[in-house]
Amino acid sequence: MSEHGSAAEQLRLGVVAALIADTGPAPPGTGPADGAASDELPLAEALRGPAGQPDEATRAIAELLRLADGTAAAGVLAVGLRQAFLIPDDSQHAPAREERTAAFADVYRRLALPELAGAARDRANALLGILTSG
């Protein structure tokens, strides 16, 4: 158990990725937010960045989350992202929100990348390059 919910309410990286990629409201009962754990929607909003259509960085973040989903690092990455992007009482913005792409890339490199192998690791490195360029 943690301050962010019970074990039954663990953050699912695939759901966060779907929420990041979602660009508009879905009818009730059909969208990725339906049944989302308490931290999934706020984390997706923090990682999504500016409103509107997802940009290249937002799409890269969503794909990186999908690559890590289901790996041994998924739980550790979820905790790291919560700590970096969410404030428990949400009374202020987490510092990582100011530089979301660089902060996400740092957390991902430290917590998820070591657990990826082969083509998944190569794809993750390419996507991380998108986040840290420019």
Instruction: Provide the whole-model pTM.
Output: 0.79
Structural domain of residue 115, as residue ranges?
Answer: 7-132
For residue 97, is it within any domain?
A: yes
CB atoms within 10 A of CB 64: 26
For residue 14, is it within any domain?
A: yes
For residue 1, is it within any domain?
A: no
Q: Which pLDDT belongs to residue 126?
A: 97
* DSSP code string of the chain: -BTTB-GGG---HHHHHHHHH--S---TTTSTTTT--TTHHHHHHHHH-SSSS--HHHHHHHHHHHHHTTSTTHHHHHHHHHHHH--TT-SS--GGGGGHHHHHHHHHHHHTGGG--HHHHHHHHHHHHHHH--
CB 109 within 8 A of CB 73: no
For residue 94, is it within any domain?
A: yes
Tens-digit pLDDT string for the chain (134 aa): 344 444 335 789 999 999 998 754 443 443 455 555 678 998 998 898 776 667 899 999 999 999 999 999 999 999 999 988 886 665 555 555 568 899 999 999 999 999 999 999 999 999 999 999 85
For residue 11, is it within any domain?
A: yes
For residue 2, is it within any domain?
A: no
User: How far is Cα 115 from Cα 48, in angstroms, rounded to an integer?
Assistant: 24
